[in-house]
């Protein structure tokens, strides 16, 4: 899953650009998710779920035609991305905000850092320019990097890889150690796994499950949670 972050100062068109990117990427056949950073509460205090939270619920869930889970504390970005990746196979995650993150960024204002691949004026982005922007994002964005530094992409380190990606030097090179076969978290922290280790874990656990359940040939996903209560 590649990640692009839209950054900018207040009221400069971040949400407008995020929605346009979601539309464009979806039209190209990509499966897209979004994530927004906010200093204010997401839930409205006068709604039922807001009342649940005010009463002291640590986790509030709303479900019906759609489902949301509201935690009463912020989670770190890596944990949220891990949860998203464990839930669905998205091609792109478009983030609004997160200006200090180390993902490829589009800036809609004067904000800029080493990860900013383009600065744009949202009002002047016509359809043609949006198409060009999406092409740049396809080539220069990348997924969650965890300093595994496995060198399988040909770079000495993940930092070197990300710098060349955002600068457009390595448009066709991709991180080889993204989540494909197995994802491991210990104490809420994702453990970086190279493709070889992912393969071993995936095959070992699948073999174990198959030996428990003879009818489980169509396994798509296995989730195991181990909690040490001692
Ligand atoms: S393949 Fe991925 S994890 Fe390995 S060094 Fe390159 S960017 Fe880092």
Q: What is the 3-state secondary structure (H, E, C) of the chain?
A: CEEEEEECCCCCCHHHHHHHHHHHHHHCCCCEEEEECCCCCCCCCCCHHHHHHHCCCCEEEEECCCEEEEECCCCCHHHHHHHHHHHCCCCEEEEECCCCCCCEEEECCCCCCCCEEEECCHHHCCHHHHHHHHHHHHHHCECCCCCCCCCCCCCCCHHHHHHHHHCCCCCCCCCCCCCCCCCEEECCEEECCCHHHHHHHHHHHHHHHHHHCCCCCCCCCCCCCCCCCC
Cα–Cα distance for residue pair 192/150, rounded to 1 Å: 10
Q: Ligand 1: which atom is nearest the Cα of residue 146?
A: 3
Give the pLDDT confidence of 66-96 residue by residue, as tens digits: 999 999 889 999 999 999 999 889 999 999 9
**φ/ψ of residue 51, rounded to 5:** -65, -35
Question: Closest residue (by CA) to atom 8 of ligand 1?
Answer: 158
**pLDDT of amino acid 58:** 94
Cα–Cα distance for residue pair 131/80, rounded to 1 Å: 29
Q: Separation of 180 CA from ligand 1 center, angstroms?
A: 14
Give the pLDDT confidence of 144-197 residue by residue, as tens digits: 999 999 999 999 999 999 999 999 999 999 999 999 999 999 998 999 999 999
CA angle centred on 221, ends 219 and 223, rounded to 5°: 125
Q: Separation of 145 CA from ligand 1 center, angstroms?
A: 7
**pLDDT of amino acid 119:** 97
Q: Which of 3, 144, 175 to mutate to test the pocket of ligand 1 (most atoms within 8 A of CB)?
A: 175
Q: Is residue 213 scored above 80 in pLDDT? A: no
Q: Separation of 175 CA from ligand 1 center, angstroms?
A: 5
Q: Which residues line ligand 1 (CB under 6 A)?
A: 145, 148-153, 155, 158, 161, 175-177
Q: Ligand 1: which atom is nearest the Cα of residue 156?
A: 5
pTM over 0.85: yes
- Gyration radius of the chain's alpha carbons: 20
189-191 and 184-186 strand pairing:
antiparallel
Q: Separation of 94 CA from ligand 1 center, angstroms?
A: 21
Q: Decide if 34 contacts 93 (C-beta within 8 A).
A: yes
Q: Separation of 211 CA from ligand 1 center, angstroms?
A: 34
Beta bridge partners, 59, equal 71
Question: Closest residue (by CA) to atom 6 of ligand 1?
Answer: 153
Cα–Cα distance for residue pair 111/9, rounded to 1 Å: 7
Q: Separation of 176 CA from ligand 1 center, angstroms?
A: 6
Q: Is residue 216 scored above 70 in pLDDT? A: no
Cα–Cα distance for residue pair 223/200, rounded to 1 Å: 16
When pLDDT is cut at 50, 70 and 90, the band that residue 39 belongs to is confident
Q: Is residue 15 scored above 80 in pLDDT? A: yes
When pLDDT is cut at 50, 70 and 90, the band that residue 214 belongs to is low
**pLDDT of amino acid 203:** 94
Q: Is residue 112 scored above 90 in pLDDT? A: yes
Cα–Cα distance for residue pair 2/114, rounded to 1 Å: 18
Question: Closest residue (by CA) to atom 2 of ligand 1?
Answer: 175
């Amino acid at each position: 899953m590649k990640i692009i972050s839209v950054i900018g100062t207040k009221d400069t068109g971040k949400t407008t650009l995020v929605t346009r990117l979601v539309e464009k990427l979806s039209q190209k056949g990509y499966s897209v998710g979004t994530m927004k950073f906010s200093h204010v509460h997401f839930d409205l205090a006068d709604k039922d779920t807001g009342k649940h939270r005010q009463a002291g619920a640590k986790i509030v869930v709303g479900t019906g035609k759609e489902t949301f889970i509201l935690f009463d504390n912020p989670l770190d970005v890596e944990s949220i991305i891990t949860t998203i990746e464990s839930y669905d196979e998205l091609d792109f995650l478009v983030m609004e905000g997160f200006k200090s993150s180390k993902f490829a960024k589009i800036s809609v204002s004067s904000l800029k850092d080493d990860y900013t691949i383009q600065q744009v004026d949202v009002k002047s982005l016509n359809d043609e320019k949006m198409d060009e922007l999406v092409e740049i994002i396809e080539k220069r964005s990348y997924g969650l990097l965890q300093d595994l530094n496995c060198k399988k992409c040909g770079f000495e380190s993940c930092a070197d890889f990300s710098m060349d990606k955002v600068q457009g030097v390595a448009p066709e090179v991709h991180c080889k150690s993204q989540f494909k076969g197995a994802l491991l978290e210990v104490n809420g922290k994702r453990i970086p796994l190279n493709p070889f280790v992912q393969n071993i874990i995936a095959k070992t656990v699948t073999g174990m499950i198959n030996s428990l359940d003879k009818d489980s040939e169509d396994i798509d996903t296995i989730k195991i949670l181990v909690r040490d209560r001692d």
